[in-house]
Amino acid sequence: MMKADDGTWECGSCGFTKPTGDAAQYTVTEDQEVGEIIESSEETALPETDAICPECNHDRAYWYMQQIRSADESETRFFICSECEHKWREDDN
């Protein structure tokens, strides 16, 4: 996994480094650890689905999945409201 460090991407396994580029093209959500970054732009590439926002009750949200627990646990679904941009997550129970 590549982590951002002082304007450079660094691979935790092999030590490969690469400049990070323009920081304005990345979004870090509240639930991410420092160094976990999702690339974004004005026009999002994330898929959209029916989901009720807990903040504004809008019925559409962008979503993505991320492995945040051990490998034998299911992925966590993250949602971003397409209206107010509130972010929340949904774990499998």
Please tell me whether 81 is known to bind a ligand: yes
Please tell me whether 53 is known to bind a ligand: yes
Please tell me whether 13 is known to bind a ligand: no
Give me 61's structure tokens.
């949200």
Please tell me whether 84 is known to bind a ligand: yes
Start-to-end C-alpha separation, the chain: 27
> What separation in angstroms does the CA of 56 have from each of 50, 83, 84?
14, 8, 7
Please tell me whether 56 is known to bind a ligand: yes
Please tell me whether 24 is known to bind a ligand: no
Show binding-site residues for Zn(2+).
Answer: 11, 14, 53, 56, 81, 84
Show binding-site residues.
Answer: 11, 14, 53, 56, 81, 84
